[in-house]
Structure 1
């Protein structure tokens, strides 16, 4: 028997994050307790606007939405990527400014204390999650595990020759999170880059469902795929890095992991580079993060199509809350 996963989702939507939010809301085995929106792919304000828009369109207008952070712990000005996500973060879409209630960051501690076995999924910069540990005390017993989309091992980075965007965006925060909690599961660029969804997959979803979110996903994926095809000529679709992180949280048997200590370089040309010892004979230590090295690509694609095609997953969860 599989149990409902209760999660707090840290995000910086962003196209990929936005599709991950939709996936989490529609998946029948995930209950989203709150969304923390921070800077990253876009400014914090645009991230909040985008998350609010998605929650409204998905039928979850009352789900707690929490304002995260505006900039990294270093105090540097964040870098944004409009060439990938568009000026407002949702490609061709321009959500209106959010005028509703934004929960206080401190509400996260109330949520953590009100539930047991919460999983935290951070698919953006780790700044807000680091603040959760820095500002709170005795919160670790209320967290079951943490899943991070971040880092790159054995492959080039996507913002520098060696660094992946989330760890590069705030390497100080990444190191704080990695040192403050166990167990942590890292879903790095070397596996997420294989989680490619193509226009054909979107056509399958369209043919199977008339869910009102499908046109939004179609528009987002069209923009995202065209952006990736400019960056990587010959790619058939676009990799959904953040959706894969949620998929592996729900389907741990679909991934292969190795435990190693991880350090993120904080400055210089190697800023944001994630390092672990994979030499023959190297050993893990208790508490080391689990780094995903492989996953079942076809099972991921099939699950994504099924989850997004289903018009019942999200409805079951809404009925369960009422």
Structure 2
């Protein structure tokens, strides 16, 4: 059984990731925390509650977190991808949850869940890393309770919101740098380079829609998102970034990782939010004086069909 805390900014692909956790019998979902990102905090929180309601998860505590980055204002939301409501303008397809948000904030909820956990917990941040940076700064004692942090973010060779930066990291580069560079917890980074390769096609979505009411609802949510990727990538299908990271969190080793020192560009300009992975040999790094930097496991490959089948088999259940 994998104990999970999800930190999220739903977001269509976030909805698929939350659904994947809810649909997996080997997951103990301890809590869900929300952050600004694809849309504003009030909407990401409402969306998280509604996705949990789709799966009857009234038991999972939900707490709202940061509504802005650590340092600079957030330049813009991703409504052009996820719709005005964050769920393809179809959030009303989901039921309202009877249980509202917890009477605490995201960081306090995560700290409490970690402190009381009998076994180490995996944290899955699939939005900007603001809440995670605040948690590790304000509650350093909980590091020992964290099994690993599995992050969807960054692009080693590509970007999406800019030529070089991926949306989650770009939304709060200072927070991302604290988590990826300055902290010392086992971390897996699942970047765009791999999530794009795990794109699901129209046939996959049709199979999910035919699996039952929940699968059909998820496919209806993704309609506008699917159209966006059809226009931009020329495919009939969709990229489900956050669900790929969730799959690795649930089934460690599903993705192939390589370990590199990484950094995050925080300076203003066209490179802001870029994740820089130092893929040189240890000898080359040592000669340039950077050997010994903290290393992060970066997902670089996978059996792509196995990833798609893992997602479909869980979400169809």
Structure 2 match to 1:262 = 262
Report the CA distance between 1:49 and its aligned residue: 0.8
The 5 A counterparts of 1:1-322 are 4-95=1-92, 101-103=100-102, 104-105=104-105, 106-115=108-117, 116-154=119-157, 156-178=158-180, 179-207=182-210, 209-210=211-212, 212-232=213-233, 234-267=234-267, 268-280=269-281, 281-282=283-284, 285=292, 287-310=294-317
Contact 2:262 2:294 in 1 (8 A): no
| 1:164-197 deviation digits (Å, cap 9, x = unpaired) | 1111110100011122132111111100111111
Report the CA distance between 1:63 and its aligned residue: 1.0
Q: Which runs of 5+ in 1 are unaligned?
A: 311-322
Hey, what's the Cα distance between the residues in 2 that align with 1:136 and 1:252? Answer: 26
SS of residue in 2 equivalent to 1:185: strand
Structure 2 match to 1:316 = none
Q: Which is further off, 99-108 or 178-187?
A: 99-108
Contact 2:34 2:63 in 1 (8 A): yes
Contact 1:163 1:270 in 2 (8 A): yes
Report the CA distance between 1:99 and its aligned residue: 8.3
Q: Which is further off, 68-77 or 139-148?
A: 68-77
Report the CA distance between 1:83 and its aligned residue: 1.5
| 1:210-231 deviation digits (Å, cap 9, x = unpaired) | 2x31222111222211011122
Report the CA distance between 1:236 and its aligned residue: 2.8
Structure 1 match to 2:288 = none
Report the CA distance between 1:273 and its aligned residue: 0.6
Structure 2 match to 1:315 = none
Cα distance change of structure 1 residues 290 and 80 upon mapping to structure 2, 3 Å threshold:
same
Report the CA distance between 1:247 and its aligned residue: 1.0
Normalised to the residue count of structure 1, the TM-score between the two structures is: 0.89
Structure 2 match to 1:317 = none
Tell me how large the CA RMSD over aligned residues is. Answer: 1.9
Contact 1:18 1:51 in 2 (8 A): yes
Normalised to the residue count of structure 2, the TM-score between the two structures is: 0.90
Hey, what's the Cα distance between the residues in 2 that align with 1:250 and 1:20? Answer: 11
Hey, what's the Cα distance between the residues in 1 that align with 2:203 and 2:227? Answer: 14
Contact 1:261 1:276 in 2 (8 A): yes
The runs of at least 4 aligned residues of structure 1 exceeding 6 Å deviation read 96-99
Hey, what's the Cα distance between the residues in 2 that align with 1:188 and 1:60? Answer: 29
Q: Which runs of 5+ in 2 are unaligned?
A: 286-290
Contact 2:13 2:240 in 1 (8 A): yes
